[in-house]
Chains A and B, each alone.
Chain A
Amino acid sequence: MELKTKLSVLADAAKYDASCASSGSKRERPKGGIGNTEGMGICHSYTPDGRCISLLKLLLTNVCIWDCSYCVNRRSSNVRRARFKPEEVVRLTIDFYKRNYIEGLFLSSGIIQNADYTMEQLVLVAKKLREEENFGGYIHLKAVPGASEVLLKQAGKYADRLSANIEMPVQEDLDKLAPEKTIGEIEDTMGTLRAEIDESRERARADKKSARPAGAGETFAGAGQSTQLVVGASRSSDSVILKKAEELYKKFKLRRVYYSAFSPAEFTSPELSRTPTPPMREHRLYEADWLIRHYGFSASEITAQIADGNLDLTKDPKLAWALAHRQLFPVDVNRASRSLLLRVPGIGVRNVDRIVKIRRFHRIGLADLVRLKVSMNRAKWFVVTADHNPDVFNLDKTDLMTRFRRPAEQLSLFAPGPATVVMGEI
């Protein structure tokens, strides 16, 4: 098969993995080599689906011995199959990188023979890039659940990020949809990665303290680990998903959990959901995830007020929480603690920090908030400022809810994707 055809087949097969991050890792260009990472990710292009291209995202092969019913590459699917030789992936990565198309490589694979063999093949590509091509750019490798510790250790030596995808929040879902996978095995892999990452950080700290030069090759997955959940293929609710995500963040110190909305085209299993997941559901999950990671919310706080276990599609989870906790408002922007300011709808983390700084020098009025580009449509009902804020008197009105409600049919038009959520503040 021609290389261009393989590229087409194996990029097409890789696009369901939502992660494209290239940040969080620092590496200087190796002597005589090419490429570096400076900590900040760069999105080199965008496709009309609104997603960014930061990494060359490929499967080594889309041949797979597993039969996960939500996956296009499952054994029983009749998609066209292809397989790269490791040196072909290396060539494409270097050629693309030199032209500044990408930050690096994100390599995953269908399961060939077994977990170890598959992991070995992925590691081989990364090894060639680092050792033969002197490549200093970003590498994200899939950590195959169940792969041996030795192989995972090698993977982390070459890769900036590793990810083992959990796919479903509970074992019951996996039993129905991905019979070869177990939460236990996937979490074991995450546990191994966490131990290695912690140890590597510890080493770096000790090196810094003793002023020893940091060992270049010793960093294990400098950009940490992440995972992905498929949303809407099983019946599990947002409450279950968010509880699992929070648990994973705590247990394995994941950098990110990605959520991928399932769409049932071409899938035949009777266990699968028949209706496509609304993109807004994925969007709300990212917002809730953001609240957990940056705003001091717990998953249970976010899900306590939702009746059927799913996030309200018509308003963001922070606004929904505030409306359900009106006794805590209004918040005085000139006096409230940082943690309370973080709870005000429409004020993001950066603006909270700005407000805390500004109020040391003068009392904050409505005009200050407007100039800070606080989202006043949401914030105005919940804050007291140095001057008169007439809207705050509506806080206790029973019809306040309706002021945020959008006509239901507008939903399908209004569907920002994860790319915009990831950047934004809520």
Chain B
Amino acid sequence: MISKTSVVTIVDYGAGNLFSVVRAFRYLGATVVITADPKATIKASKIILPGVGAFGAAMEAMRSRGLDEAVCAFAAKGKPILGICLGMQLLFESSVEFGFHKGLALAKGSVKKIDLLKNNDSYNIKVPHIGWNSVLSNVEKDHYESNPLMKSVSNGSFFYFVHSYVVNPVDMQTVIATTTYGQQCFCSVFNRNNIFGCQFHPERSGEVGLKVYKNFLDTNM
């Protein structure tokens, strides 16, 4: 069981549906703090950067509240941060979603669109990528199994995805797991030191998704 002192802070920059993320952490017994306050963000012990929506609008919303600097200051303390879906993409340096936008640059790399495939005049692979897909270890077996976020999560487990863009990390060692959609293989779990990201939605991925959140609550940094 999770100790009563387990607290997670969700950064609410005004974009996206936080309700299911909040419910999942509460279900796991955590105390959930939702904040749009930069000071509370810096002082948090663990933060979640959620996200549904567009990259540029999300960064703008964060900047207007001073949350971009707060999140970077928090990360600089070495405390764990988990970006989910768009939240993971925001951790990177830039995106080309609806024009060029700068990100938080806590991770090296950029964000690009999933290639739409049209064969024989019919759409086979559709964008957005909506649905379940398997998440496979991209690193040595021990490295995946010892990753704090993926502990006890079987290699190849299915998670729920909803996205049109993917991250393209520079350092392949930070790509903990990948997922293949159509012809495209992309990074679905990212980790470098205290910075974590997952392209899928753990709060919508059943028991295995809850396990990922529990692992994040159990990180000790």
**A and B form one complex:** no
